[in-house]
Homo-oligomer: A and B are copies of this chain.
Amino acid sequence: MKIFINPSRDSWQEILARPAVDHSGLRDTVSDLLKQVKSGGDKSLFELTRRFDGIELTDLQVLDEEMLQAEAAVSPELKKAISTARQNIEKFHEAQQVDDSLITTTDGVKCWTRTVPVEKVGLYIPGGTAPLFSTVLMLGIPAMLAGCTEVVLCTPPGADGKVHPAILYCARILGIEKIFRIGGAQAIAAMAYGTESIPRVDKIFGPGNKYVTVAKQMVSLENIAIDLPAGPSEVAVMADETADPAFVAADLLSQAEHGTDSQVLLVSTDAGLIEKVKAELAKQLKVLPRKKMAEQSLLNSRIVVLRSIDEAIDMINEYAPEHLIISCRDYGDVGIRILNAGSVFMGPYTPESAGDYASGTNHTLPTGGYARVYSGLGLTDFQKKISFQEISKEGLQNLGPSIMTMAAEEELEGHSMAVKLRLSKISNNKK
């Protein structure tokens, strides 16, 4: 770990710099894959799965039988945990429902908004080193709450051609029926263009490897919306002398075990904490199954000691971490001064893993400094808003002159005429 003691402000940018992620070299490869699926449809999906995953699929769609097998394969204990997580995520996301209000802006001019679901959404659930069934909950629950009419889920098959039972179980309890065993850029292409089996969607959600990320970027330049720019996961821990070194170490490791590119930052106002955290890291690493991965990502991690909480808050706001754990005495006061972060974990008994799984907040969050401008995923990402206006005759008499004056100044006489003709009719009818 790299340790910085009271670094000057002009060195912060360098200390906080994230490794550059440049996937532009993949664009040609991914572009070819997209074209292949666009023209080849299902056939190309079978071929690409054979080529990349070494699997000879018989069906793309997961059928009822496999769903039932999955349900049987998930332990009662895990089902209970999933049920708890689901309830909490539902409660938190339900509260994001916004009431549409009607405003009279000028007498006779009513304006309002109606919130409606994005009709067709695609959820991508990565395979890889761990079966991320929790992501099914995080994407599927807001999709279902929003009332999306078509929810498609794509996830790569395992070596046996099957999808992990917990992924299928989560999809099933949420009522997601269109599940396809296909991964990578080809899955993104299938949802973006549609194939014989896989419906075309309007918006694609979910994390993935660099091919998935580039494919999402590229289809977003065509006619498809995507959720968030994806990048390596990050945690920042803000700690003072009240922090428990064992908790801090565990929080850093729970991020570091995600992958060798995970970003870990500890900002402390207590220099004495550092050695204790290092000792705890060494101790806890010994028993961690993903020790090698965590060690690797800790090499790139940073510990910064600063003089005051004020400085620490400034540094966190400059870094804009995906996850922020505030392990300080006055964590409540600190929390309200955080302006740039994806999700914040307040106080000693709120580990990041709570938000990853079950507290209720969404774990799809902005990485790479995007927390400066993006929010984590929520209900509204599965909705859109339509604005409405209704103007009465009196309303147009009130507002019309302003519209005509502005239109004339912008040299758009047709815009003015649409008002003028109506006003003439109103005054003629009055005569």
5 closest Cβ pairs, A-B complex: A88-B105, A105-B360, A353-B415, A81-B402, A351-B418
The interface residues of chain B lying within 8 Å CB-to-CB of A414 are: 250, 253-257, 284, 288, 290, 294
A389 touches B358 (CB 8 A): no
Interface of chain A residues 44 through 97 with chain B (CB within 8 A): 77-78, 80-82, 84-85, 87-88, 91-92, 95-96
Is A202's CB within 8 Å of the partner chain B?
A: yes
**How far does the Cβ of A94 sit from chain B's closest Cβ, in whole Å?**
8
**Size bin of chain A's contact surface:** 35 or more
A361 to B40 alpha-carbon distance, docked (Å): 44
B357 touches A402 (CB 8 A): yes
Q: Among A202, A250, A373, A393, which residue has the most Cβ atoms of chain B within 10 A?
A: A373
A225 touches B98 (CB 8 A): no
Given contacts A290-B413, A410-B134, contact A418 B247 (CB under 8 A): yes
**How far does the Cβ of A289 sit from chain B's closest Cβ, in whole Å?**
5
A92 touches B105 (CB 8 A): yes
A401 touches B81 (CB 8 A): yes
Is A144's CB within 8 Å of the partner chain B?
A: no
**How far does the Cβ of A369 sit from chain B's closest Cβ, in whole Å?**
7
The interface residues of chain B lying within 8 Å CB-to-CB of A409 are: 78, 131, 133, 166
Interface of chain A residues 365 through 408 with chain B (CB within 8 A): 368-376, 378, 380, 384-393, 395-396, 399, 401-403, 405-407
The interface residues of chain B lying within 8 Å CB-to-CB of A177 are: none
B92 touches A103 (CB 8 A): yes
A80 to B398 alpha-carbon distance, docked (Å): 13
The interface residues of chain B lying within 8 Å CB-to-CB of A247 are: 418, 421-422
Q: Among A92, A343, A368, A384, which residue has the most Cβ atoms of chain B within 10 A?
A: A384
A411 touches B353 (CB 8 A): no
Is A315's CB within 8 Å of the partner chain B?
A: no
Given contacts A103-B92, A105-B359, A396-B349, contact A289 B373 (CB under 8 A): no
B217 touches A418 (CB 8 A): no
Is A156's CB within 8 Å of the partner chain B?
A: no
A360 touches B384 (CB 8 A): no
Is A299's CB within 8 Å of the partner chain B?
A: no
Is A430's CB within 8 Å of the partner chain B?
A: no
